[in-house]
Amino acid sequence: LPGNQSAMLLDVAARTSLQPKYDIVLYGATGFTGQLVAAYLHSVQDLQGQKWAIAGRSPAKLAALATKLGAGVSSIAAELTDAAATADLVSSTRAVINCAGPFSQHHAEELLGECARRGVHYSDLAGEGFWQADMATKFHQVAERSGAKIVLGGGVDSIPSDLGCMLAIDALSGEGGPIQARAVYTEYTGSFSGGTLNSGRAMSRARNEGRVTAAMEADPYLLAPGTTGADSAVGTADGMPAGFGWGLSRRQPFFMGPINARVVRRSLALRGLAQQVSYSECSSVGLWLRLGWVYASRGLGYFRGEPINLSPRSGEGPPSWLLEEGAFAVEVTATAASGAQAVATVAGKGDPGYGATAKMLAEVGLCLSLDAHPSAAGGVLT
């Protein structure tokens, strides 16, 4: 062959040899949420004809899940404490999505860090702010250099808040001066799993070990280290005024507010808007009334033959009827200095933390793996 044709063939062969085996790997696939994500990935049209794998620590559990899902799903058994196994897993795929929490305790740093170093995209469901802040500090520049997109908050915490804020403030892009964004969750009908309880225990342990301090818990910009922004003076994680609490008011605290608000503020910092845009988050009293009505009208699930498990163990979560019938809705209002306003509503069906979150994380993984986004820089993103 002529020299130029030989060079072209060698170039194609080299690039082909570097193509990863899988488009996406789901780690922690055998847990409660992981199985929901796996089922969604197996059914989604985007992955038909593509190669993907479930992964985790137990070969037996992975084999059982692969059999349940059916043909076309590979499995990878890997302990994240095994550096070589983790490197092999990461190098085999374009993107990793991780459901194996609590992330601060289950060696997620090893998986995230390997992705950051190798230029492999990554997302998870972590709500442990101290751990997210640590990952942003350690790996943002590493991921910038490699091109890896490390996406924080890939589920209901904190996609609805983040998207709603972006849509609302972008609608005011022609306005100058400061913008105040307030998110109000009007619906959040769901329950919790053993994994949620484990994450709560992980936070308590981190406090006892001194990894989480009172200053950190009050820091609005915990996930954007070194940032001084529009919310710095407020001194609360959710952005609500100091002293805001439960009472006879249309607005009530929202338990996800501190987690979501910090992710939103990292988005603002990455976009250079931290000084211009303030963000706060709460819930409506209607959210709690609606949740109470759903629980009462279904007899806590006894009327449906599947009671809500109020003390779930690892691997247990909301009943199937709540996974399908749950819902969430958040309304974000952005107000410019001129008085102009824009409102964005983000809503979805399914128990927010599980039925809806499984779809969100799966779609984040699909977007990272299959969509073309060459102009978007790598880093620890949102």
- Decide: residue 23, CB within 10 A, 0-12 exposed, 13-18 middle, 19+ buried: buried
State how far the alpha carbon of 302 is from the alpha carbons of 292, 299, 309, in Å: 15, 5, 11
* 123 DSSP β-pair partners: 97, 151
User: Looking at residue 9, what is its pLDDT?
Assistant: 38
Lowest mean pLDDT segment, chosen from 126-140, 190-204, 283-297, 348-362? 190-204
pLDDT-derived band at 86, boundaries 50, 70, 90 = very high
Q: Report the distance separating Cα 134 and Cα 157, nearest Å.
A: 18
pLDDT-derived band at 2, boundaries 50, 70, 90 = very low
User: Looking at residue 362, what is its pLDDT?
Assistant: 98
User: Looking at residue 1, what is its pLDDT?
Assistant: 45
For residues 113 and 175, the model is more confident at 113
Tokens of 263: 């992710």
CA-angle at 153, arms to 198 and 150, nearest 5°: 115
Average pLDDT over residues 236-257: 94
Max alpha carbon distance in the chain (Å)? 82
pLDDT-derived band at 174, boundaries 50, 70, 90 = confident
Lowest mean pLDDT segment, chosen from 206-220, 286-300, 356-370? 206-220
pLDDT, tens only, 25-35: 999 999 999 99
Lowest mean pLDDT segment, chosen from 82-91, 259-268, 309-318? 309-318
Average pLDDT over residues 243-269: 95
pLDDT-derived band at 200, boundaries 50, 70, 90 = confident
pLDDT at 5 over 80: no
Lowest mean pLDDT segment, chosen from 130-134, 241-245, 259-263? 241-245
User: Looking at residue 111, what is its pLDDT?
Assistant: 98
Q: Report the distance separating Cα 76 and Cα 305, nearest Å.
A: 36
pLDDT at 373 over 60: yes
pLDDT-derived band at 345, boundaries 50, 70, 90 = very high
User: Looking at residue 321, what is its pLDDT?
Assistant: 97
Give the relative orientation of helices 257-270 and 129-146 as an angle to the nearest 10 degrees: 30
* Closest among 49, 60, 58 to 23, alpha carbons compared: 49
Average pLDDT over residues 206-225: 93
Q: Report the distance separating Cα 340 and Cα 372, nearest Å.
A: 35
User: Looking at residue 197, what is its pLDDT?
Assistant: 86
pLDDT, tens only, 38-49: 999 999 998 888
pLDDT at 11 over 60: no
State the CB neighbour count (10 A cutoff) for residue 188.
Answer: 24
pLDDT at 363 over 50: yes
CA-angle at 143, arms to 141 and 148, nearest 5°: 160
pLDDT-derived band at 17, boundaries 50, 70, 90 = very low
Percentage of the chain modeled with pLDDT above 70: 96
User: Looking at residue 248, what is its pLDDT?
Assistant: 85
pLDDT at 15 over 60: no
Question: Cβ neighbours of residue 209 under 8 Å, at least 6 residues apart?
Answer: none
pLDDT at 382 over 70: yes
- Decide: residue 77, CB within 10 A, 0-12 exposed, 13-18 middle, 19+ buried: middle
pLDDT-derived band at 277, boundaries 50, 70, 90 = very high
